[in-house]
Amino acid sequence: MVMTELNSFAVSVITLVIVVLLKAIMTHVVAHEPLRFFRFYCQLLSNKVNLTKNSDKQRTIAGLVAVVVTLLPLAIILWLFEAFVEVAVLWQGLLLYLAMASFGIKASNKSVAQALVAKQNYLAKQSLQPWLLRETEQLSSLGLSKAAIEMQLLRTLQQGYVVAFIFLFVGPLSALIYRLLLEMHYCWNSKVERYRYFGLYAGNLAALCQWLPVRLFSLTLLIANIGRNFLLFWRLSRGKFFQLNNDIAIMLLALSLEVRLGGVAMYDKQKLRKVSFNDLAKQPEPKDIIHADTAIKRIIAVSFLLVITAAVTSVVIGQ
């Protein structure tokens, strides 16, 4: 069956699989991040308009304007350019490739776990710091394990799972615009004091885009625990279901691993007390980093299987 005979959803699924495989190969060949120049632009933009002399309200409005004047023209230009592309699937694949992050997190976290087992905390901190906004200098082995688990979960969700969901059900252009918005959120994270107001809209808009995909991921993780405290996990996490954040995913992973996550973290020399998850459990150990990787990969694999099954079913029904 040729590509033109497939429905649009099946074509999108095939494109997603090919791009994921290509990303995995490229990650092993060369370390690269296509959006690093956009991060540089975001930094320059914030230096220009996020002025400390302005009031909190002015800085909040400036952050919203910065998002709009950056993303709206890009969306219009890319949308117009698509009309001139002869092979639409190649254009869609390119947009998805740009939107999806590299797959270097697993290798980095494996290095962190190995360093912690070898009692080389400094090496673990050096490996982990490029992936984190929080400071790692004062973290113990337990703190580094906790940070590594949370980082892998959130980055996998935000830069991979959500991107794939938006690509399949909204479109490739929307997936790229979301990823650019996410990069703005990373650069202007409101956990850092100087971006507390300027990054407010970027963070809230990114969280809004993530809400449904993260809930689907969390429900899949919850279902994976059927026969293992399923009802208890649901009762403990259901209060977070409608919140505009990713706390439900962190809570369910903490419950699944039987470890404690969240808590105090340092951002730009300032201590921030965040939500704690599964407080009565033990602190995570280096081996839990590997267990977390296995649990996350299992949910990703199940999600891929469901999407591929849906695509095949749609093709069979359409014949």
Q: Taking residues 290-296, report their average pLDDT.
A: 95
The average confidence (pLDDT) of the chain is 92
Give the residue among 45, 49, 42 at the shortest CA–CA distance from 182.
Answer: 42
Q: Taking residues 266-277, report their average pLDDT.
A: 84
Residue pair 162/175 in contact by the 8 Å Cβ criterion? no
* pLDDT higher than threshold 50 for residue 1: no
Residue pair 3/15 in contact by the 8 Å Cβ criterion? no
Residue 187's pLDDT is what? 95
Residue 185's pLDDT is what? 97
Tokens of 136: 């790692």
List, for residues 241-265, the tens digit of each pLDDT value: 999 999 999 999 999 999 999 988 8
Give the residue among 198, 161, 159, 164 at the shortest CA–CA distance from 179.
Answer: 159
* pLDDT higher than threshold 70 for residue 15: yes
* pLDDT higher than threshold 80 for residue 167: yes
List, for residues 39-66, the tens digit of each pLDDT value: 999 999 999 999 989 999 999 999 999 9
Which own/partner contact pairs does 27-30 have at CB distance under 8 Å and 24+ positions apart? Answer: 27/102, 27/103, 27/104
The model's confidence at residue 5, banded by pLDDT at 50, 70 and 90, is low
User: What percent of the chain clears pLDDT 70, i.e. is strictly above it?
Assistant: 98
User: What percent of the chain clears pLDDT 90, i.e. is strictly above it?
Assistant: 73
Tokens of 63: 């952050």
Residue pair 198/188 in contact by the 8 Å Cβ criterion? yes
The dihedrals phi and psi of 163, each to the nearest 5 degrees, come to -60, -45
Q: Compute CA distances 211 → 157, 158, 173, 299, 300, whole Å.
A: 11, 10, 19, 17, 17
Altogether, the residues listed in the chain come to a count of 319
User: Which is higher by pLDDT, 245 or 106?
Assistant: 245
Tokens of 204: 């809230």
Q: Taking residues 21-47, report their average pLDDT.
A: 88
The model's confidence at residue 174, banded by pLDDT at 50, 70 and 90, is very high
Residue extents of the structural domains in the chain: 3-318
Positive or negative, the CA dihedral 214, 215, 216, 221 is positive
Number of H helices, E strands in the chain: 13, 2
Give the residue among 127, 99, 103 at the shortest CA–CA distance from 27.
Answer: 103
User: Which is higher by pLDDT, 113 or 266?
Assistant: 113
The model's confidence at residue 2, banded by pLDDT at 50, 70 and 90, is very low
Give the N- to C-terminal CA distance of the chain in Å, as an integer.
11
Q: Taking residues 13-18, report their average pLDDT.
A: 96
List, for residues 122-152, the tens digit of each pLDDT value: 999 988 988 888 888 888 899 999 999 999 9
The model's confidence at residue 313, banded by pLDDT at 50, 70 and 90, is very high
Residue 69's pLDDT is what? 96
The CA-CA-CA angle for residues 141, 160, 69, to 5°, reads 110
